[in-house]
């Protein structure tokens, strides 16, 4: 049997099931929503088992999704497509089509929104965990031995997962996929540094900083520290909570902003070298990166500090300080 025949075989089974099974009823028990697709899902589970089958699995699940959507349009009979969307999303992510894969994972979550369920359930299974275990968690565990992080508490997998599951699902996905993109492009940049790859690294670092600011703002709004409608800056958010931690914030003499790439790289290096404590170094590193990258885009390699460093010579230390800040804020329950 060719793979196209394999697809056609299960498409025929699917069409029969769409005729025979009742339409989606959100008042029925949760497991019943997938009844029409359970046989197909179980019999084709091997599509997820081998990297070489990913393109075939994508073709298979796109056909399944298209068949259901077309049937619904023709017959006005609606099914819960959560399991099909989720499987297609996982397949696409396996093929490094991350954005479309996340799109289908969130569609799957939307399909189940009528149920009282944990939104993170879609990421708690082995299919998503394979990505975390290979692409994200090993990098984060390296913070323990990295002097640029200098965290005063251990980072283990339980801590990481506890933090990730405390976030709203879109925030978790944004954080994990941004880290994934950064770590991938660091490898590319080591082979061939070019403006495209450097731009991806630059934008990824900016997104981490903006997400951190957003998480701080959400937490402080929930706690009533800031007005829900107020547009407060990162500096205000830090000033609201950090002085009470005894880390010496704010610290006179360390910059929070820059006006040009030259000014930026000089000040980043100054923070990395002269900050009086790891906490201050991490916080000011994230602060200046957020303020500069949020308003400027420049990946030039010819702008260097008096010590001869361009920004991407400082990138690893800057990224480590930024990620370590996120975990420091999580450990202190500030995000």
For the residues of 11-42, what is the DSSP string, one character each?
HHHHHHHHHHSPPP-TTS-GGGGGGGGHHHHH
Q: Looking at the structure, do residues 207 and 321 belong to the same domain, yes or no?
A: yes
121 vs 78 pLDDT, higher one: 78
Q: Looking at the structure, do residues 202 and 258 belong to the same domain, yes or no?
A: yes
Last residue of a domain, one of 54, 84, 117: 117
Q: Looking at the structure, do residues 243 and 166 belong to the same domain, yes or no?
A: yes
The confidence score (pLDDT) of residue 322 equals: 98
pTM exceeds 0.75, yes or no: yes
* 171: in domain: yes
* 127: in domain: no
Q: Looking at the structure, do residues 72 and 139 belong to the same domain, yes or no?
A: no
Last residue of a domain, one of 70, 87, 117: 117
* 252: in domain: yes
The confidence score (pLDDT) of residue 116 equals: 66
For the four alpha carbons of 58, 60, 64 and 70, in that order, the dihedral sign comes to positive
The confidence score (pLDDT) of residue 206 equals: 97
The neighbour count for residue 86, using CB atoms within 10 Å, is 26
Q: Looking at the structure, do residues 91 and 187 belong to the same domain, yes or no?
A: no
Q: Looking at the structure, do residues 17 and 151 belong to the same domain, yes or no?
A: no
Residue labelled with tokens 């397949």:
91
Q: Please say whether the beta carbons of 185 and 302 come within 8 A.
A: no
Q: Looking at the structure, do residues 110 and 142 belong to the same domain, yes or no?
A: no
Q: Looking at the structure, do residues 326 and 205 belong to the same domain, yes or no?
A: yes
Q: Looking at the structure, do residues 256 and 217 belong to the same domain, yes or no?
A: yes
The confidence score (pLDDT) of residue 282 equals: 96
The neighbour count for residue 66, using CB atoms within 10 Å, is 11
**DSSP state, 133?**
I
Task: Write the pLDDT tens digit of every residue in 47-87.
Answer: 876 454 567 889 999 999 999 999 999 999 999 999 999 99
Tell whether the model's pLDDT for residue 189 goes beyond 60. yes
Q: Looking at the structure, do residues 138 and 59 belong to the same domain, yes or no?
A: no
Q: Looking at the structure, do residues 196 and 250 belong to the same domain, yes or no?
A: yes
For the four alpha carbons of 14, 100, 118 and 226, in that order, the dihedral sign comes to negative
Category of 61 on φ-ψ map: left (φ > 0), alpha (ψ -120 to 50) or beta: alpha
* 215: in domain: yes
What mean pLDDT, rounded, does the chain reach?
A: 92
Task: Write the pLDDT tens digit of every residue in 253-301.
Answer: 899 999 999 999 999 999 999 999 999 999 999 999 999 999 999 998 8
Mean pLDDT for 23-48 is: 90
* 125: in domain: no
Task: Give the CA distances from residue 258 to residues 265, 267, 285, 316, in Å, rounded to whole numbers and listed in that order.
Answer: 9, 8, 12, 20
The confidence score (pLDDT) of residue 70 equals: 98
Q: Per mean pLDDT, which range of 125-134, 152-161, 186-195 is the poorest?
A: 125-134
Last residue of a domain, one of 117, 150, 170: 117
Q: Please say whether the beta carbons of 247 and 241 come within 8 A.
A: no
Q: Grade residue 244 by pLDDT with cuts at 50, 70 and 90.
A: confident
- Which residue segment(s) compose the domain that 94 sits in? 3-117
* 124: in domain: no
Q: Looking at the structure, do residues 163 and 208 belong to the same domain, yes or no?
A: yes
* 103: in domain: yes
* 46: in domain: yes
| Count: domains in the chain | 2
């Amino acid at each position: 049997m060719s793979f196209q025949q394999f697809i056609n075989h299960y498409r025929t089974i699917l069409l029969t099931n769409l005729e025979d099974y009742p339409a989606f009823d959100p008042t029925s028990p949760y497991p019943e929503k997938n009844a029409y697709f359970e046989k197909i899902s179980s019999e084709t589970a091997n599509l997820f088992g081998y990297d070489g089958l990913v393109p075939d699995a994508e073709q298979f699940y796109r056909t399944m999704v298209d068949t259901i959507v077309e049937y619904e349009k023709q017959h006005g009979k609606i099914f819960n497509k959560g399991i099909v969307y989720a499987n297609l999303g996982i397949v696409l992510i396996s093929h490094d089509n991350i954005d479309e894969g996340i799109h289908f994972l969130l569609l799957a979550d939307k399909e189940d929104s009528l149920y009282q369920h944990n939104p993170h359930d879609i990421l708690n299974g082995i299919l998503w965990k394979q990505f975390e275990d290979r692409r994200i968690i090993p990098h984060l565990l390296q913070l323990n031995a990295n002097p640029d992080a200098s965290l005063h508490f251990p980072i283990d997998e339980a801590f990481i997962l506890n933090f990730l599951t405390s976030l709203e699902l879109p925030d978790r996905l944004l954080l994990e996929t941004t880290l994934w993109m950064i770590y991938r492009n660091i490898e590319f940049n080591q082979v061939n540094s070019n403006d495209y790859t450097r731009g991806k690294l630059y934008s990824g670092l900016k997104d981490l900083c903006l997400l951190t600011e957003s998480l701080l703002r959400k937490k402080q709004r929930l706690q009533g520290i800031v007005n829900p409608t107020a547009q407060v800056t990162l500096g205000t958010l830090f000033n609201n909570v950090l002085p009470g931690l005894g880390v010496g914030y704010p610290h006179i003499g360390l910059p929070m902003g820059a006006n040009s790439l030259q000014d930026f790289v000089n000040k980043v290096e100054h923070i990395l070298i002269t900050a009086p404590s790891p906490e201050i170094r991490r916080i000011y590193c994230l602060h200046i990166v957020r303020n500069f990258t949020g308003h400027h885009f420049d990946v030039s390699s010819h702008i260097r500090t008096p010590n001869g460093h361009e920004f991407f010579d400082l990138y690893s230390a800057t990224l480590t300080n930024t990620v370590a800040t996120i975990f420091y804020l999580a450990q202190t329950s500030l995000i």
